[in-house]
Amino acid sequence: MAEKSSALAYNRKTVWEHLTGQEKQEAMNLAEDYKVFLSRAKTERESAALVAEQAQNMGFIPLESVKGHLKPGDRIYRLVKGKSVLLAVMGGCPVTEGFNVVGAHIDSPRLDLKVHPLFEDEGLALLKTHYYGGIKKYHWLALPLALHGVVYRGDGSGVEIRMGDEAGDPVFTITDLLPHLARQQMEKNVNEAFPGENLRVICGSLPAENTDIKNRVKENILLLLHDKYGLTETDLVTAELELVPAIPPRDVGFDRSMVGAYGQDDRVCAYAQLAAMAGIVSPPRTAVAIFTDKEEIGSVGNTGMQSSLFLDFTAELVERSTGVYNELLLRRALSASCGLSADVNVALDPGFADTVEKDNTARLGCGAVLTKYTGARGKSGSNDAHAEFLSRVVRIFDSRKVIWQTGELGKVDQGGGGTIAYMMAAHGMDVVDCGVGLLGMHSPFEVTHKADLYMAARGYAAFLQE
């Protein structure tokens, strides 16, 4: 006889079983658009440009181009140094009475080229890299890689490079040692077996015709770069070039219920909040979406959440909507606001179930994940949302039929992680983490559930319209 759960107990729901036929189709359609987004946005620059492009298609206009006061219903955005974006739909209530904000990051772990990347060794041209964010270095071996980024020539003109993603493009790779010779390698711990300095990428093997040059293979690569892009080796010194997996987003499973792709931490939440903003028309309170950079390395720099970009944007919303500005008005607006830190959480993986506490971890396909606190071990670096606010968010979700679950970042002493939640809360607003469960986080091929993406988008829309 099947056991029945108490009506008083918390019951985790499987999203798919609670969707109508129309909602299931909407979830699948959203995932198709999401895969297109992922295929075009593999770096923070590409993500920011695509968010700005899609925002314009939704009727958002640059804040700088707005004439006169902002008024309810206005849709504005700001692109910050090509790497972060902020959107806002002005609400009926004055901004000084607070606003609702959802914030995600659009950078992901990757391999950056060093300042002096190109060299030749034993007849091969190679590129030196410096990894960005938390990676398992062995994930990046024996993998097809694409080169993305921007380079500025000596005359100040820039050129974008994107090579390795299109059919017919060459790719790059870091080779691994064959198992026949890997006994000593395999006896080492992972960090010792795969040092960061050894993440060197093969990029050529043909020599230049000039036999008087010592490093003829390297010279041939420089000639190719000059012929195609007008670049010299000195131009590479100031370049931003990133290596990302040359793997397109794919459906996962016989049932196509999941999406596998690079960069879903945190572009799955970024895309969900972009989709949510598309439907925000006349919110009671101003709705704001943040797409920020540098989260994977501490949200630093002038495009990260620790910079003044959010404060500056908010200050302009206050001044442009009220006609006056002072520090007190800004502080009142911020402290009266509330937010969702949109970031992924770990989903239970049956192969690694001993790393999580099953009653308090998320599962694929069970909805948007509310995370009261992140941090490490003793909640170090955590926002730790207040009970009053978390309860309010749950009531919003329940009233809009948003299926949600709770999650933690692993067992108490296992590890942990951080988000931008505490940086948002530093301005006085109430904040809680809310995102999508993920398998294979920070790997070159992460896995999400289409139903969870759908519920995250619905959840963000419900919160922004509250």
pLDDT tens across 122-139, in order? Answer: 999 999 999 999 999 999
C-alpha distance from residue 372 to each of 5, 279, 385, 421 (Å): 25, 27, 5, 10
CA-to-CA distance for 104 and 267, rounded, in angstroms?
A: 8
Report the distance separating Cα 443 and Cα 85, nearest Å. Answer: 25
Q: Answer whether residue 8 shows pLDDT above 90.
A: no
* Cis amide prior to 266 (ω within 30 degrees): yes
Confidence band, pLDDT 50/70/90 cuts, at residue 6: confident
Q: What is the pLDDT of residues 259-303, one digit of tens each?
A: 999 999 999 999 999 999 999 999 999 999 999 999 999 999 999
Task: Return the amino acid letter for 179.
Answer: P
Tens digits of residue pLDDT in 386-444: 999 999 999 999 999 999 999 999 899 887 888 999 999 999 999 999 999 999 999 99
pLDDT band at 3; cut points 50, 70, 90: low
Q: Would you call 82 exposed, middle or buried from its count of C-beta atoms within 10 A (0-12, 13-18, 19+)?
A: middle
pLDDT-derived band at 1 (thresholds 50, 70, 90) equals very low
Give the chain's mean pLDDT: 95
Structural domains present in the chain: 15-108+262-464 (3.40.630.10), 110-245 (2.30.250.10)
pLDDT at residue number 377? 85
Q: What is the pLDDT of residue 4?
A: 60
59 pLDDT more than 60: yes
58-66 long-range contacts, Cβ below 8 Å, gap at least 24?
58/277, 58/278, 60/87, 63/313, 63/316, 63/320, 66/320
Q: What percent of the chain has pLDDT over 70?
A: 99
Predicted pLDDT at 5 = 63
8 Å CB contact between 104 and 266: yes
Residue 383 CA to residue 260 CA, distance in Å, equals: 30
State yes or no: pLDDT of 147 exceeds 50: yes
Give the C-alpha distances (Å, rounded to integers) separating 98 from 101, 326, 335, 427, 466.
10, 15, 7, 12, 12
pLDDT at 151: 97
* Among the ranges given (169-178, 300-309, 319-328), the one the predictor scored with the smallest mean pLDDT: 319-328
Res 2 pLDDT > 80: no
- The per-residue pLDDT for 12 is 83
133 burial (CB, 10 Å; 0-12 / 13-18 / 19+) is middle
